[in-house]
Amino acid sequence: MSVQTGTKRLTTRDIQALKQRGEKIAMLTAYDHVTASLLDQSGIDILLVGDSLGNVVLGYETTLPVTLADMIRHAAAVQRGSTRAIVVCDLPFGTATDPETALRSAVAVLQETGCQAVKIEGGAAAVPTVARLVGQGIAVMAHIGLTPQAVHQLGGYYRHGKTDAEARILIEAAQALQAAGAFAIVLEMVVPELATEITGLLDIPTIGIGSGPGCAGQVLVINDLIGLGIQPAPSFAKPKADVAAIVRDAVTAYIADVKSPSEEPPLV
């Protein structure tokens, strides 16, 4: 007999249904059990275990040093902390260089974490990889526009799709990734008008980040949303809290209590 829980986890079909009925899709990153639990309890649709953990958790300047082992450890924690949201795990730099390498990486992620899908960066070049994984029953979220794993090849972080030629490349890549079986596509730092156009051309949802409001959904790094960071959030992120200030204030008060106690500690 199977164990029944009170919460049904969303599926890729549920995400598709959100787009079909015009309801926006909400996605946030999570990297640990507690954060995943809080976001899940709040009703988030998709939890992305992004390789952005390299920047906001592990202290790297880019996502490139993040390993598959890093992703598996964090994705497993997020999976344990959630019961409703789909959990998507990034395949980090160097683990999806060709279809067979990506398949081995994705199988390891799904088997060792229990998450429901993987995310792969790249445009037309990633199409055979997406098709290979989907052919093996793996749910894949694609990612085009600004692809942080290619930051050195791209020459930095900037908006994509500004020229007609760039726009055509992105449109064709999005259509090809949909045809290959991706269940959704992240559009990062794409010109908003182009992101809206791509969203209208596709049957599958687009998830925007820094690409305007015309996408089928939005994603943010959780630290940018809640103001938990050392550096300012990107211009497209509008923090809803200042958790960093709360932490600093709490720690300052604690230090003051420890160094200048107002009363004698109780005898033990």
Catalytic residue among 61, 188, 263, 264: 188
Q: Do 147 and 121 contact (CB within 8 A), yes or no?
A: yes
Banded pLDDT at 7 (limits 50, 70, 90) = confident
In-domain check, residue 252:
no
**Is 188 a catalytic site residue?**
yes
Q: How far apart are CA 222 and CA 48, in angstroms?
A: 10
User: What is the pLDDT, as a whole number, of residue 188?
Assistant: 97
Number of structural domains found in the chain: 1
Q: What is the largest CA-CA distance in the chain?
A: 76
In-domain check, residue 262:
no
Q: How far apart are CA 219 and CA 33, in angstroms?
A: 19
Coil/strand/helix, residue 214 = coil
* pTM passes above 0.85: yes
In-domain check, residue 23:
yes
Query: Can you give the CATH number for the domain in which 180 is found?
Result: 3.20.20.60
Find the mean pLDDT for residues 225-237. 91
- Output the CA torsion sign for 214, 218, 221, 222: positive
Q: By residue range, what is the domain housing residue 85? A: 12-242
Residue type (1 letter), 208: G
User: What is the pLDDT, as a whole number, of residue 1?
Assistant: 35
What is the pLDDT of the chain when averaged over all its residues? 94
In-domain check, residue 117:
yes
Residue 267 pLDDT > 80:
no
Pairing of strands 184-188, 217-220: unpaired
In-domain check, residue 256:
no
Q: Do 130 and 180 contact (CB within 8 A), yes or no?
A: yes
In angstroms, what CA-CA distances link 136 with 46, 104, 108, 186? 22, 11, 13, 22
Most confident of 148-162, 212-226, 228-242: 212-226
In-domain check, residue 7:
no
Banded pLDDT at 231 (limits 50, 70, 90) = confident
Q: Do 193 and 160 contact (CB within 8 A), yes or no?
A: no
Q: Which of 187, 208, 226 is nearest to 35 (CA)?
A: 226
Angle (CA) 209 64 174, round 5°:
40
In-domain check, residue 3:
no
Q: Residue with structure tokens 């998507």?
A: 88
pLDDT tens, residue by residue, 50-102 = 999 999 999 999 999 999 999 999 999 999 999 999 999 999 999 999 999 99
**Percent of the chain scoring above 70 in pLDDT:** 95
Q: How many other CB atoms are there within 10 angstroms of residue 162's CB atom? A: 12
In-domain check, residue 261:
no
Q: Residue with structure tokens 């592990």?
A: 58
User: What is the pLDDT, as a whole number, of residue 2?
Assistant: 37
Find the mean pLDDT for residues 178-194. 98
Q: Which of 142, 169, 175, 145 is nearest to 157 (CA)?
A: 145
